[in-house]
Copies of this chain bind each other. A is one copy, B any other.
């Protein structure tokens, strides 16, 4: 009996993610979203409920995509080479709406307001860190990383380096690719 929506919900979330990623939470107004999603306010609120609800969907998708990308990379190259390639991949995509990590941007913007989206972003970052630790552990098993090192410690530092790289990549006049190479090379010495 019902009428079908004219939009592709998946596509809308992608476009919202790009907008939020680039402009941040406060920097993205409903006017911006209406323009990017080609939706009038009524349809928007019928479909997503609120700006925050859509931001949450976008954030979750961003995190899921990142995890998937790393998984695929690990399947293709093995753990250590995946970890080495990942930083460069994160900053070389010119089509991406921003170089910096959307999770980090969200934490930095919303942590001071005690906004639930900040802790959600942080949870996603923690999950990423766990994934890094697993890859470091696998790299140890493969003999590519010294077995006396703690994979969790390595992952914590790797995550921090990655976040720093992606902040640097957002700046003007910084050769971020060189930093990415240095991070990758330093993993060969473990």
Contact = CB atoms under 8 A, between A and B. Distances in A.
Interface of A: 22-24, 26-27, 98, 100, 104-105, 107-109, 111-113, 119, 122, 125-126, 153, 156-157, 159-165, 167-168, 170-175, 178-179, 182
Given A24-B26, A24-B108, A157-B182, 19 more contacts: A24-B112, A26-B26, A27-B112, A100-B108, A104-B108, A105-B108, A107-B171, A108-B108, A108-B109, A122-B172, A125-B171, A153-B178, A156-B178, A159-B168, A160-B165, A160-B168, A162-B164, A163-B168, A164-B165
B159 A109 contact: no
Copies of the chain in the assembly: 2
A10 B167 CA distance: 31
A113 B23 contact: yes
Contacts of A161: 160-161, 164
B157 A179 contact: yes
Which 4 A-B residue pairings sit nearest by Cβ, starting from the closest? Answer: A164-B164, A26-B26, A160-B164, A160-B168
A104 B178 CA distance: 19
A113 B28 CA distance: 10
Contacts of A172: 119, 122
B113 A170 contact: no
A22 B113 CA distance: 9
23 contacts: A23-B112, A24-B26, A24-B108, A24-B112, A26-B27, A98-B112, A105-B108, A107-B167, A107-B170, A107-B171, A109-B109, A119-B172, A126-B173, A156-B168, A156-B174, A156-B178, A156-B179, A157-B182, A160-B168, A160-B179, A162-B164, A163-B164, A163-B168
A164 B98 CA distance: 17
Given A26-B26, A164-B163, A171 B122 contact: yes
Contact of A113 (B27, B113, B122, B174): B27
